[in-house]
Amino acid sequence: MSEAIDEMLAGLAATRQTMQRQVAKISEIMEKSNKTLLHLETQNNLQTTISSPPPKTTDEAKNVYNFKPDCEQSIVKILEQFQQLMQQTVGGDHNQVGGGTLDDCLVYRQRAEYLGSSVRKLVAFCDSINQLKLNLQEQEELAESNKENDEEF
């Protein structure tokens, strides 16, 4: 009986180590993808600044996105909860022994993946909104210039 428990504990320890390596790998991949996204956004911003007039203030040049403070706090909370969830998944629950722990780990992993997906969707949504704002602004400027040209004739 004690051999079975020892095997189970060894299996849980091995699973925990594997999960720690997976979390490290996922973090590394997310960091690389974030760097790639920042690089693409920078290139996109360079292209839009070349085709549009320079920003009016230095704050506009520093901020890629203009979020309300509530929105920023929500994003920070989501990211903090994601990190805490990942820590809990890796740390495990030492009070439980057996298959329940593995099931809990799988549930936590699924929740973590859902949160990660939600964050990516939220960022993509904010980026889409900003693109729509830029397009609307360009259309309004074009309409104003067309209106001025029509008035001259």
CA distance 15 to 5: 15
105 within 8 A of 15, measured Cβ to Cβ: yes
pLDDT of residue 61: 46
**Sequence-distant (≥ 6) Cβ neighbours of residue 41 within 8 angstroms:** 64, 127
Written as six digits, the tokens of 27 are 């973090």
96-116 b/e (C-beta count within 10 Å ≥ 16 → b): eeeeebeeebeebbeebeebb
At residue 86, the pLDDT reads 72
Output the pTM of the full model. 0.33
Does the structure show a pLDDT above 80 at 125?
A: yes
Tell me: the pLDDT tens digits for 77-103?
877 777 777 777 666 544 444 556 777
Which has more confidence, 38 or 58? 38
Q: What is the mean pLDDT of residues 128-151?
A: 87
Report pLDDT for 51: 61
> 64 CB contacts (<8 Å, ≥6 apart)?
41, 45
